[in-house]
Chains A and B, each alone.
Chain A
């Protein structure tokens, strides 16, 4: 009998189903805003396959897929934004987050409470009072949370404010992040103004070039976020080559990069969203004075 070419069975990938002769449906970015896919091929793949590969690598594929299934059945298609976050330099330190936006294509009665129901048997902490003007909420997941060993934490993002808060069951909400989104061309002055006052970077000729690498300037929006222990830059709607560049730049686990690379043309119709946290390293007195601590990639399902 012939031996298998691959010692482990390969994960069957989820295709981007397209009904023949129908116009191509919009795809959604990490703000859950629609875009037209660039080019399409018959064997295009869904972006969520990256999330599945990441779950598979951490032994939580079944748990993750079961959760996606409950969300899809309960909310419908294109309601979930997913993120994979990787601690720089620590291939095993991976976590995930799911984001839910208030959008015109939401099902009726779209609330954190409803999503919390769909998460069961996983337990989600936090609630959003009805009078808050929220734009979105998110639920964090790590291996233990996906396995139900620990409650999942949630955050809320307020409309038109750029502010996000961690939600607590027995305590008041805690300010988490402040985001500023700008067009990378017309809005560059605001982005620079925000980065210049970052307490996590020092004035240095290479500081901006590290924070805003030229390879990623072709994006829909740049975003600067001020967080509790770091600042961050986000890039929205980059192409699959920029995604590869980013994963290499932040030394993401080789198996995931290799799988992405093997299927590159099948992911080329998608636009991707990226983010990287940076934190000051006071000891770096000659350099830009920061290191990247965490990076994330985002898609929707």
Chain B
């Protein structure tokens, strides 16, 4: 129930339906914000008892609109604790009425599923995946996190009932101070139940965004325990997923990291408090481009940027200038690199495709999505026409393809600001 970025329709008829899909195949429907546990880090703690979530009528209207449902293969039902809601069966039925839906998942603490009766009803109605929170490997840890003594036994009973049913079992462990040393024990506890997958969501600080509760674990401390749990999953052939933990610290399990979340139907004001994420190396690391969110602002404010711990996966283009220095015009390339105008450098959505001597100056080719245009820089000569003059240089640019004209006018001032840092052209 998180997102890294999502815009909402301002004039959309239904305030709960987001404008953009974060995941094309999966939609999460949040409703019935009540819970029988009280996890100390709950991401919807402030919403419990306060908001209605997506009511049946809204969900039904959504499900009937082929515009909204195109391509959806999975509906995830969540709350609160959805199994407390008498209407849950109806939500499942609506989910199943969407022709393309293959799976209906319930996010649950499973405490009400141990007796089997409710579980059977849910499965009969069409639920086939249960995503169960398992936040500890023993009763004291579980009781401390859920603030309900006895929760451990109740969750275990639910897990066993699901494992014995026709539905698929998935688990999720939110990694926090109270449980991070137990992660491998949790895998050992769950593995005999043959889960289809185990998730490890590192604390997503939506409610406690100033980290007052001191539940976040420094990444270097969490890393060995998380890697241990991922090794244990690999040994037991359980697919593992990690969220909101830097991918560069996952070593051979880097491909387990996936911060994406389903498109979510929830009260609009929920999004106002979502945590922001950042990484110092977002501009030079391949992981950042492929979905690694980095660290939450709350984390950075508490523990810092972790610049000594993170290991950015540098893409070639931003490798040190020595890689281009061997080229025949090495001096020119190295000089351009010192200005952030070397081959491969990013300027907004543009990249530098080439830097070469051209007539009395230097020509840059900027590209974006197979469009390109040239920017020429010459020593300043007030008698010649120029698009812009800096103190030292005249700058002109070539024909800009119409499709990117708007973007190009944005990037030119960026180019200008960088070239202004140069004293002379290396001609």
Residues of chain A having any CB pair with chain B under 8 Å:
31, 33-36, 102, 104, 133-135, 159-162, 181-189, 192, 204-209, 212-215, 217, 220-221
Contact B417 A160 (CB under 8 A): no
Contact A183 B280 (CB under 8 A): no
What chain A residues lie within 8 Å of B420 (beta carbons)? Answer: 31, 135, 159-160
What chain A residues lie within 8 Å of B389 (beta carbons)? Answer: 104
What chain A residues lie within 8 Å of B424 (beta carbons)? Answer: 160
What chain A residues lie within 8 Å of B391 (beta carbons)? Answer: 102, 133-135, 159-160
What chain B residues lie within 8 Å of A212 (beta carbons)? Answer: 280, 305
Task: Give the total number of A-B pairs whose CB atoms are below 8 A apart.
Answer: 100
Contact A160 B423 (CB under 8 A): yes
Contact B390 A188 (CB under 8 A): no
Known contacts A205-B303, A205-B304, A214-B276; is-contact A188 B388 (Cβ 8 Å): no
Interface residues of B in 127-142 (CB under 8 A from A): none
- Cα of A213 to Cα of B302 in the assembled complex, Å: 11
The chain B residue sitting closest to A236, CB to CB, is: B417
Contact A104 B388 (CB under 8 A): yes
Contact B303 A186 (CB under 8 A): no
- Cα of A133 to Cα of B380 in the assembled complex, Å: 12
Contact A220 B417 (CB under 8 A): yes
A-B residue pairs in contact (CB < 8 Å), sample of 17: A31-B417, A33-B416, A33-B417, A135-B390, A159-B390, A159-B420, A160-B424, A182-B340, A184-B283, A185-B282, A188-B283, A209-B300, A209-B305, A213-B300, A214-B297, A214-B305, A217-B278
- Cα of A5 to Cα of B45 in the assembled complex, Å: 40
Instruction: Tell yes or no: B410 within 8 A of A by CB.
Output: yes
- Cα of A181 to Cα of B283 in the assembled complex, Å: 16
- Cα of A64 to Cα of B1 in the assembled complex, Å: 52
Contact B392 A133 (CB under 8 A): yes
The chain B residue sitting closest to A217, CB to CB, is: B278
0 or 1 for each of B335-353: is its CB under 8 Å from A? (1 = yes): 0000010000111000000
Interface residues of B in 262-309 (CB under 8 A from A): 276, 278, 280-284, 295, 297, 300-301, 303-307
Nearest CB in chain A: distance from B157 CB, A: 43
- Cα of A207 to Cα of B306 in the assembled complex, Å: 11
What chain B residues lie within 8 Å of A221 (beta carbons)? Answer: 417
The chain B residue sitting closest to A179, CB to CB, is: B421
Contact A209 B304 (CB under 8 A): yes
Contact B409 A36 (CB under 8 A): yes
The chain A residue sitting closest to B344, CB to CB, is: A186
What chain B residues lie within 8 Å of A207 (beta carbons)? Answer: 304
Contact A33 B413 (CB under 8 A): yes
- Cα of A195 to Cα of B413 in the assembled complex, Å: 26
What chain B residues lie within 8 Å of A33 (beta carbons)? Answer: 413, 416-417
What chain B residues lie within 8 Å of A215 (beta carbons)? Answer: 276, 297
